[in-house]
Structure formats: C-alpha cells, structure tokens
C-alpha cells in the first residue's frame, strides 16, 4: 500500500521569500512517481511538478523545485520568490508504476499556503 | 482546449435519490479516474478505468457504480444517495506513462440532505 504524509496543515510565507512544503511517502514499489498539485480557492487541480523515483536530478519547473531525498522517502516542494497568487492548497501525490498500484494516485492531506504581502 | 469536462458543477439531492455524474475527456487518454475530496482528507480514489470496457475499485467504492461508456466518457452513479456522500467529486484522466500527470476536471460539488 502507498501512503503520503503532509505534516504541515498550514504554512505562512512573506511575499518574495522561499517556502518549503513537506511531503514524505511510503511504498513497497521499486518504481514510482511523485507529483505536486496546486488547488486554488476556485477549486481546480493544477499540476505543478513531477519526480520519478529513478531520476538522478531533482525536478525543477520555473519557480518550483522538488527536493527529492529517496533514502529519507521525502519529496518536498520548494517555491522560490513567493507571490500572492501562490496562496492555495498544495497536494503531494504518488503513483505506483506496477502491480495493483499502477496508475493510481495516492494523495496527502494537503498544506494550505498563505502568502502575506 | 476542453480537457476534462464534468457535469453538473453543483447538485443538491435528497437522501435516497439517485444521480449520475458525467465526465468526458478529449485528450485520447486510456485511463480515467473518479475521486472524492472531503475537508482535511485530500482526494481519495473511488473507481478507475484503465481502458475502455474495464473498471476497478479504488479506496472508497462503496455506494457508487461506474460505467466506462467509451474511451472518452466515464460516469459515476450514486444509486441511493446518503449524507455521507456529500463531497466534491473530481474526474481525471492521463496517458499511461509514469511521468504523465493526471488532468482533472473542475469538480462537482454534491450536497445530500
């Protein structure tokens, strides 16, 4: 079984500063993918970034980067130069690559990020 | 660019009523999913379909049925709605490659009185 844990129910950051949102995971699959999604107050789910379990380098997408530490089973999202529009709920999710986990996303409980001006 | 389209966006039902949530995608994806989102619990998988003609249970399937009508459409049915099914329902689809994200619809906010 797969499990995602996000231990920060809420985070606050000052505009233009960087913030790290924590995510730890547990799986017995040797191959898996990790995703981060953003859910603004309007409710849609927006894909931010992906990290494969065999990727040698940490993923980056613009102001988003993923601090992937495989041995610690953590996949923290780093948002640099925070903007007011970054205020939203953020979800970490994992997808297995084989067996009964194949294709299915398991989500964490989410972290609400508030960016202060 | 339509992507994943869900209907309706909002619905209020009485306990015991039935209804079907519709989902269609225009990205030629094989895999489609239904999730529910409850406060403080993230998204939980209800059912999924790896290809046309196949469906399988997710984490919380009780009280729901699904139909993969064709490659584009994947519907979720509540046969006898219960207040515990009050939630926001999301449909999603993706390519069958490990690095491909799931694309989500805008959600259906369902209230059962």
pLDDT tens by residue, B42-56: 899 999 998 888 999
Q: Do the Cβ atoms of A34 and A77 come closer than 8 Å?
A: no
List the structure tokens of B50. Answer: 């790896």
State the first-to-last Cα distance of chain A, in angstroms, to the nearest integer: 41
Given this model, what pLDDT does residue A86 score? 98
CA distance A32 to chain B (A): 7
Whether residue A14 has pLDDT greater than 90: yes
- Determine the residue among B25, B58, B101 to mutate to test chain A binding: the one whose Cβ has the most chain A Cβ atoms within 10 Å: B101
The average confidence (pLDDT) of chain B is: 93
What average pLDDT does this structure show over A70-98?
A: 93
pLDDT for position B60: 95
Is the per-residue pLDDT at A115 higher than 60?
yes
What is the mean pLDDT of the segment spanning A36-42?
A: 96
Question: Which residues lie below 8 Å from residue A75, measured CB to CB, with a gap of 6+?
Answer: A23, A24, A25, A34, A36, A51, A66, A67, A68, A69, A92
Question: What 3-state DSSP class applies to A100?
Answer: helix
Distance between B7 CA and the closest CA of chain A, angstroms:
14
Q: Contact at 8 Å (CB) between A37 and A61? A: no
* CA separation for the pair A104, A98 (Å, rounded): 10
Gyration radius of chain B's alpha carbons: 13
Look up residue A75 and give its DSSP letter.
E
Distance from CA of A107 to the nearest CA of B (A): 6
Contacts of A105 in chain B (CB under 8 A): 33, 43, 45, 92, 102
Q: Contact, A96 vs A36, CB < 8 A?
A: no
Which residues does B contribute to its contact with A (CB < 8 Å)?
31, 33, 40-45, 48, 50, 58, 88, 90, 92, 94, 96, 98-99, 101-104, 106-107
The pLDDT of residue A110 is 96
DSSP state of A53: T
Asked if residues B13 and B20 have their Cβ atoms less than 8 Å apart, the reply is no
Mutate to test the interface with A, among B42, B60, B74 (most CBs of A within 10 A): B42
The per-type count for chain A, helices as H runs and strands as E runs, is: 0, 12
Q: Map residue A82 onto helix, strand or coil.
A: coil
Q: What token pair was written down for A92?
A: 């970490």
Which whole number is the average pLDDT over B69-87? 96
For residue B9, list chain A residues with Cβ-Cβ distance below 8 A: none
Q: What are B88-107's pLDDT values in tens digits?
A: 999 999 987 777 889 999 99
């Amino acid at each position: 079984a797969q499990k995602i844990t996000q231990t920060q129910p809420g985070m606050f950051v000052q505009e233009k500063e960087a913030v790290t949102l924590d995510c730890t995971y547990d799986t017995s699959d040797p191959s898996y993918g990790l995703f981060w999604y953003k859910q603004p107050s309007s409710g849609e789910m927006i894909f931010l970034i992906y990290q494969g379990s065999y990727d040698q380098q940490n993923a980056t997408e613009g102001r988003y980067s993923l601090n992937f530490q495989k041995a610690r089973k953590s996949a923290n999202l780093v948002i640099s130069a925070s903007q007011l529009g970054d205020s939203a709920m953020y979800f970490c999710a994992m997808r297995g690559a084989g067996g009964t986990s194949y294709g299915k996303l398991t989500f964490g409980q989410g972290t609400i990020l508030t960016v202060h001006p | 660019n339509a992507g994943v389209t869900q209907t309706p966006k909002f619905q209020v039902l009485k306990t015991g009523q039935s209804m079907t949530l519709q989902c269609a995608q225009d990205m030629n994806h094989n895999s489609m999913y239904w999730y529910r989102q409850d406060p403080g619990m993230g998204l939980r998988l209800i059912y999924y379909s790896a290809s046309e003609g196949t469906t399988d249970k997710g984490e919380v399937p009780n009280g729901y049925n699904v139909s993969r009508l064709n490659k584009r459409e994947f519907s979720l049915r509540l046969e006898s709605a219960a207040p515990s099914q009050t939630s926001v329902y999301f449909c999603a689809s993706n390519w069958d490659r490990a690095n491909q994200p799931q694309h989500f619809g805008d959600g259906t906010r369902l209230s059962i009185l």
